[in-house]
Amino acid sequence: MLSKSQARTFFLGGTLVTFLVFIALTVYSFQPKNDQTNHDKIDAKVIRGKEIFEANNCMGCHTIMGEGGYYAPELTKVIDRRGEAFVKTVLQSPVPWGSRGRKMVKYEMNDVDADAMVAYLKWIGELDLNGFDRVVSPLSKD
């Protein structure tokens, strides 16, 4: 059993060590060599694709990196799985598109908007996921 002064010393020492580890990890994560954002690859098309993604509430059904709705397939690596042409075709489809009973809204996007969405999804797919090659939502079976 620890005395009151030993317990206080143990608590303060543990707090100090934990704080120092936190500071060291923070400094490490802000070093340029550890940047995982791909911010240098963001261009006007990627920004426009993100705007379209948000304006159409795509995350209401789809997930990106595990965040969003679980109704429709995960989109983090959709370009790698399906290809740019497939994604563009779905976005430009004149009819609601889907398989296994679930349908995606028909957006009938023009070439410029569909290309912007593909650029955004391609950018998302190139993010460093720390070794996770594929992030999959529980209901995604595409």
| pLDDT at 37 (0 to 100) | 73
- Count the alpha carbons within 13 Å of 142 in the hemisphere toward its beta carbon: 26
- CA 99 vs. chain centroid, Å, equals 24
- Mean confidence (pLDDT) of the chain: 86
With cut-offs at 50, 70 and 90, classify the pLDDT of residue 131.
low
Q: List pLDDT tens digits, range 30-63.
A: 888 877 777 888 999 999 999 999 999 999 999 8
CA dist 13 and 140 (Å) reads 47
Write the CA distances from 22 to 17, 19, 25, 29, integer angstroms: 9, 5, 5, 11
Q: Is the pLDDT of residue 4 over 50?
A: yes
* Contact predicate 48/113, CB 8 Å: yes
Average pLDDT value for residue range 57-78: 88
What is the DSSP secondary-structure string of 31-77? SGGG--S-GGG--HHHHHHHHHHHHTTGGGT-EETTEE-SSS-B-TT
Question: pTM of this prediction?
Answer: 0.72
Is the dihedral angle over the CA atoms 7, 9, 10, 16 positive or is it negative?
Answer: positive
| pLDDT at 142 (0 to 100) | 47
| pLDDT at 133 (0 to 100) | 55
| pLDDT at 112 (0 to 100) | 96
Phi, psi (5° rounding) for residue 117?
-65, -40
* Contact predicate 45/119, CB 8 Å: yes
CATH classification for the domain delimited by 38-142, as one of 3.40.47.10, 2.40.30.30, 1.10.287.1120, 1.10.760.10: 1.10.760.10
Q: Is the pLDDT of residue 5 over 70?
A: yes
What is the dihedral angle through the alpha carbons of 102, 105, 106, 107, rounded to the nearest 10 degrees? -140
Percent of the chain with pLDDT over 90: 53
Higher confidence at residue 96 or residue 54?
A: 54
Which two three-digit tokens encode residue 95?
């009819």
| pLDDT at 135 (0 to 100) | 47
